[in-house]
Homo-oligomer: A and B are copies of this chain.
Amino acid sequence: MSLDAYLAGERDRIDRELDRLLPAIDGPSGTVARAMRYAVLGGGKRLRSILLLASFEACGGRGEAALGPACALELIHTYSLIHDDLPMMDDDDLRRGRPTVHRAYGEAPAILTGDALLTLAFEVLGRRPAGDAAAPRRSEAVTVAAAAAGLHGMIGGQIADVEAERKQVGVEMLRWIHLHKTAALFSAGCRIGAIHAGAPDERRDALATYGRDLGLAFQITDDLLDRTASRERLGKTPGKDERCGKATYPALFGSAASRGEAERLMRGARQTLTDAGILSGSLEALAGLVLQRVH
């Protein structure tokens, strides 16, 4: 199977499950239900979810036990985009080629829509799935996802990022922000895949390291694309980082050195898998995919 066919198949599987998990649009809370569907089902690469599923399978997991958790990661990612796009945060009007949620539905519904997606993610992570994963795996997955999404993960990265705008930021702080804002959730996804496959600790740790490095490389390529890609390709307003005086790898080191750093990280990620004896064509291909974005 080609990489494109694999990705399209997984995206389709994830999108169908997301559609099933999201609430119906009716009753007095219909506005938020509609906005949840608008935000989540409006496209997206589903990279975090696919990584979770690939990690699950790389550890011998079979069946649908990881599909709900994979979707939960996408719900968490989408909630963070909605809140980050708000006027008092990054103030973005465009996301995935369409108006951001607060532009389409208003600010109060946008805040509640983000809250509802985050909450739904944990409901899905805690819920006994059709195929049934053992309960200890479910509660452990909840804790891992919450730790990655919380103050010591994504939220910590976002507040540091917001406060760093127009300040002199060095490479150490930049790496701290990327580790927390982006890499933590990638890493958690890979670890949760391994947890739901019942993998031993060393495999979980190896996959978490792989996911972290892939997340760091992904953030660098994202910042490179922000400088070079068109509005159509990005689905959001390009060049925003530079206008906001945001510290990025390209801003600090230039494009060529940033590409080099992303490549270095991906070599390391692959080596981590090899060292742990994890053979997975999908994880190999996903590592390559991140670099392809800027080549």
Binding site for B on A (CB under 8 A): 23, 27-29, 31-33, 36, 79, 83, 86, 88-89, 106-109, 111-112, 114-116, 118-120, 122-123, 125-128, 134-136, 138-143, 145-147, 149-152, 155-160, 162-164, 173, 176-177, 180
Q: B107 to A151, Cβ gap below 8 A?
A: no
Identical copies in the complex: 2
Do A180 and B88 touch (CB < 8 A)?
no
A151 with B116: CB separation less than 8 A: yes
Inter-chain contacts of A149 with B (CB < 8 A): 119
Report 8 cross-chain contacts, Cβ distance below 8 Å, ordered by A residue: A31-B163, A32-B159, A89-B108, A112-B159, A120-B151, A123-B147, A126-B143, A138-B139
Contacts A135-B135, A152-B23; A146 near B159 (Cβ below 8 A)? no
CB < 8 Å neighbour of A126 from B33, B36, B140, B160 = B140
Query: Cβ of A116: which chain B residues have Cβ within 8 Å of it?
Result: 150-151, 155
Flag if B107 contacts A88 (CB, 8 Å): yes
Asked whether B159 lies within 8 Å of A31 as measured between CB atoms, the reply is yes
Q: Is the CB of A122 within 8 A of B138?
A: no
- CB distance A111 to B86 under 8 Å? yes
Within 8 Å CB of A115, what residues of B? 79, 83, 114-115, 118, 155
Checking B112, B122, B160, B164 against A155 with a beta-carbon cut-off of 8 angstroms, the contacting residue is: B112
Tell me which of A89, A142, A163 has the highest count of chain B C-beta atoms within 10 A of its own C-beta.
A142
**A122 touches which of B31, B146, B151 (Cβ 8 Å):** B146
A147 proximity list for chain B (CB < 8 A): 123
Residues of B within 8 A of A123 (CB): 142-143, 146-147, 150
B139 touches A112 (CB 8 A): no
List of B residues within 8 angstroms of A126 by Cβ: 125-126, 139-143, 146
Q: How far is the CA of A88 from the CA of B160 in the complex (A)?
A: 24
